[in-house]
Amino acid sequence: MRRVWTLLLIAALLSLRAPALAAEPPLQVPGTDAFPPGTDFSADALASELVAGVDQFLLDEIAAAREERRTRWLVEHATRELAAASDEERRSRLAHILGLRDPRGPAEAPQLLATPERSAVVGRGPGYEIVAIRWTAVDGRHGGPLHGEGLLLQPEQTPLADVVAIPDADVTPEAYVGLEPGLPSDAQLPRRLAQRGCRVIVPTLIDRTREPRNGRATLSSREFLYRSSFEVGRHLIGYELQKVLAAVDWFVADEATAKVAVVGEGEGGMLALYAGAIDTRIDLVGVAGFFGDRDHIWEQPIDRNVFGLLNDFGDAELGAMVLPRTLVIENSPGPILDIPGEGGAPAQLTPPERVADECARLRELAGEAAAADLAVVGGDGEVVERGAAFDQIAQRLGCGGPRLEQAPEVVGPRSGSVAATSAARQQRQLLEIDRFTQRVLATCSETRRDFLPIADQLGKAPQQPLDFSSPEAYERSIERFREQFANDVIGRFDHELLPARPRSQLVSQEHGVTTYRVVLDVFPGVMATGLLVLPDGLTPGEKRPVVVCQHGLEGRPDDLLAGAEKESIYKGMATRLAERGFITFAPQNLYLFGDRFRTLQRKANPLGKTLFSVIVPQHRQIVRWLATLPWVDAERIGFYGLSYGGKSAMRIPALVEEYCLSICSADFNDWVWKNASTTAAYSYVWTGEYEIFEFDLGSTFNYAEMAALIAPRPFMVERGHFDTVGPDERVALEFAKVRFLYEAKLQLPGRAEIEWFVGPHAIHGEGTYAFLHQHLNWPEPATP
């Protein structure tokens, strides 16, 4: 009898330590609070609250970045020596994020563009002629050549100054110089400068023509080129800056004048400001229809998106980097347009905002230099007409004089109209930039091998930044790459996680499992939410493995339950795995509600952040909370995601090391190629996922390199032969690198697996389930 009482007492104590789920389950997960009365804890309501909270969080971060930039600038410019070092580093960083990676060609005079039917001279005005030209911007060593094309206004006498005058993207060089109608006389800045004795180059910019690309998403020409270039660490802005700076190279080498200026309006004003901030050889910068508060860059055309810009550079900071050279700002309206989505990124261009405030910030940052070298036309908030700053520019270039209004004359004979000639040039420029990016893309695999050599490089001297002598040594040596991935690719917010303050509510008890809705705090205004699925039969004191099951695009945690509408895709994985004895958790990730979540990426990118800058901390909070549950073995928490959840499976476990394994389903492939190729019909270049592009993955982390961050933890790919995410051969090629790392370099057989099955973009749930049982050390059921 004494022994019986002893056993009963032990059982009672164990039940206090790890409560079992009763036949009638509690309304809340033990250790969590109830939702406040009246809370709508449905999947859609919590998902909408999640996206809204992250939206506000990002807007707050953008606003905070402005003051952080100011504080950092004032500290770094406290002395002349500090300022010189800071500005040099800033110029290098700005060039990097703008994609200025490729060497420019030699500083040579432009080529004249003529044919047997058409002279290079296309127009004449009083004291100058207008010539069609082309010049080398980037040489052919790394994907080129890349050329600028446009017009040269050549004065008859020795020029008084050299100017690159950049029109807005939708203004042709011919319109900007007055050879074709479209601009008022005062806005024809190159003509007016040429009449005052300046030599002027007017480059062609890629315009905003919108059309269906490859029969799919309707994109502007600028967005089309932006997408693939962004993925390989270049940028349409960078390409156009190369053309501008190559013209500056020639001006400087020619030594015909004492002063070099870069001026522009709209998109041209943007390029002029960036060029002046980067290149100290430019004596005068003129910015019209652009300078203002940049906090709403996420609303502007996506080709203006620069990863990490607002961490260091608002317009005031860029202007301060121009000074004490001359900076002339014209507060004219700039281009005004509304771009609907239709597969591309929706956007608006409105007159520059808070110009007076940004000028005040500029004056504070620049100090004394602003008094003598800054001229603002309309800086008190008054919007002025286009061309209003011309006199300031001309006087500061030393070419003031009487007002001349004579328009140039078109010179013939010409093959076709001015419009036809400019349209053909536009097409040449677009195709050349696309070809350049595709050549860069073709070299990216070798660039990544040099960056992170996870496989032997045949024919190259071996590099050994990684230690393959043991799994532990490898983990230590890969850590610096994990930090680079976290900081430079994904982006990391400098916030501590809040106390989780878990809340939960019973959802159902069926199929031998009990399901709860859970909410956790993460950052101010940011939560994590999902479904916790507990198998029946949990006994006091036992510890079970957990599988975090991640839905795909526009998904909900409920989609992963047995009997859900999308069971044909997800196979009820959260329920079925719980039936096999695993505890499962299905988080709600951010990628839902269409443009609502895609604009989160737009807001995050200027901060050097991405959607995963929020999703990764959410998962850190999730695994930490799961580890507190009495039935959970914190050492056995795995990740299994489909589609966008497979995209998550490559990024989240790479950074959340509490995940002991990762399974990528219906996503693994040559990700960089899929994003950047304009020859592959399945490329994201052609689709509506405008948020999908990640800056400079091409030279850093494709999926093999991300898997290297997961290693030596077990990793698996689930691949359906008819999955249109990409062709089998691309999947196999990328996975071969992963298998080589695990099997050959780390000598860890069985830890990197791929299951091929005859099927579509869906969970298969056979080899992956066996993989989970094996590596989470949980016995397979006798009858699955």
pLDDT of 634: 98
Q: Which of 21-25, 59-63, 198-202 has the lowest mean pLDDT?
A: 21-25
Model confidence band, residue 257 (pLDDT cutoffs 50, 70, 90): confident
Among 687, 571, 708, 542, residue whose Cα is nearest residue 640: 571
C-alpha gyration radius of the chain: 30
Q: Is 364 exposed, middle or buried (0-12, 13-18, 19+ CB in 10 A)?
A: middle
| Paired tokens of 757 | 């099955």
pLDDT of 103: 92
Residues in contact with 628: Cβ distance below 8 Å, sequence separation at least 6, in sequence order: 31
pLDDT of 255: 82
| Per-residue pLDDT at 188 exceeds 50 | yes
Q: What is the mean pLDDT of residues 686-706?
A: 97
| Per-residue pLDDT at 227 exceeds 60 | yes
- Residue 186 in contact with residue 387, Cβ under 8 Å? yes
| Per-residue pLDDT at 58 exceeds 90 | yes
| Per-residue pLDDT at 106 exceeds 90 | no
Question: Which is higher by pLDDT, 658 or 400?
Answer: 658
Full strand arrangement of the beta sheet holding 503-510: 503-510, 513-523, 526-535, 583-587, 544-550, 632-642, 661-665, 715-720, 752-757
- Residue 557 in contact with residue 84, Cβ under 8 Å? no
A 10 A CB-CB count for 425 gives: 19
pLDDT of 204: 98
Q: How far apart are CA 537 and CA 743, in angstroms?
A: 38
- Give the number of C-alpha atoms closer than 13 A to the C-alpha of residue 689, restricted to the C-beta side: 16
Model confidence band, residue 380 (pLDDT cutoffs 50, 70, 90): confident
A 10 A CB-CB count for 2 gives: 6
Q: How far apart are CA 289 and CA 166, in angstroms?
A: 12
The CA-based dihedral angle spanning residues 481, 484, 485, 489, taken in that order and rounded to the nearest 10 degrees: -150
- Residue-wise pLDDT for 584-616, tens only, equals 999 999 999 999 999 999 999 999 999 999 999
Q: How far apart are CA 195 and CA 31, in angstroms?
A: 80
Q: What is the mean pLDDT of residues 380-403?
A: 88
Model confidence band, residue 296 (pLDDT cutoffs 50, 70, 90): very high
DSSP 565: T
pLDDT of 143: 63
| Per-residue pLDDT at 1 exceeds 50 | no
A 10 A CB-CB count for 341 gives: 15
| Per-residue pLDDT at 12 exceeds 70 | no
Q: Name the H helices within 279-376.
A: 309-312, 315-322, 355-366, 368-373
- Residue-wise pLDDT for 345-358, tens only, equals 999 999 999 999 99
pLDDT of 460: 66
Q: Residues 302, 49, 296, CA angle at the centre, nearest 5°?
A: 25
| Paired tokens of 694 | 């990640």
Q: What is the mean pLDDT of residues 422-447?
A: 95
| Per-residue pLDDT at 624 exceeds 80 | yes
Residues in contact with 695: Cβ distance below 8 Å, sequence separation at least 6, in sequence order: 97, 230, 231, 233, 307, 308, 489, 605
DSSP run (H or E) holding 634: strand 632-642
Q: How far apart are CA 611 and CA 664, in angstroms?
A: 18
Q: What is the mean pLDDT of residues 171-192?
A: 94
pLDDT of 22: 52
Model confidence band, residue 93 (pLDDT cutoffs 50, 70, 90): very high
Q: Which residues pair with 162 in a beta bridge?
A: 199, 260
| Paired tokens of 338 | 């509304």
Q: Which of 460-464, 570-574, 600-604 has the lowest mean pLDDT?
A: 460-464
Whole-number mean pLDDT of the chain?
92
DSSP 333: -
| Per-residue pLDDT at 366 exceeds 70 | yes
Q: How far apart are CA 138 and CA 149, in angstroms?
A: 13
Q: What is the mean pLDDT of residues 271-293?
A: 97
Model confidence band, residue 124 (pLDDT cutoffs 50, 70, 90): very high
pLDDT of 768: 98
A 10 A CB-CB count for 403 gives: 10
pLDDT of 550: 98
Report the Cα 701 to chain-centroid distance in Å: 14
pLDDT of 11: 41
Q: How far apart are CA 6 and CA 4, in angstroms?
A: 5
- Residue-wise pLDDT for 646-679, tens only, equals 999 999 999 999 999 999 999 999 999 999 999 9
Q: Residues 56, 59, 63, CA angle at the centre, nearest 5°?
A: 140
A 10 A CB-CB count for 446 gives: 12
Q: How far apart are CA 270 and CA 275, in angstroms?
A: 9
Model confidence band, residue 5 (pLDDT cutoffs 50, 70, 90): very low
Residues in contact with 129: Cβ distance below 8 Å, sequence separation at least 6, in sequence order: 121, 123, 153, 154, 156, 411
| Per-residue pLDDT at 274 exceeds 50 | yes
Q: What is the mean pLDDT of residues 476-505?
A: 97
| Per-residue pLDDT at 20 exceeds 60 | no
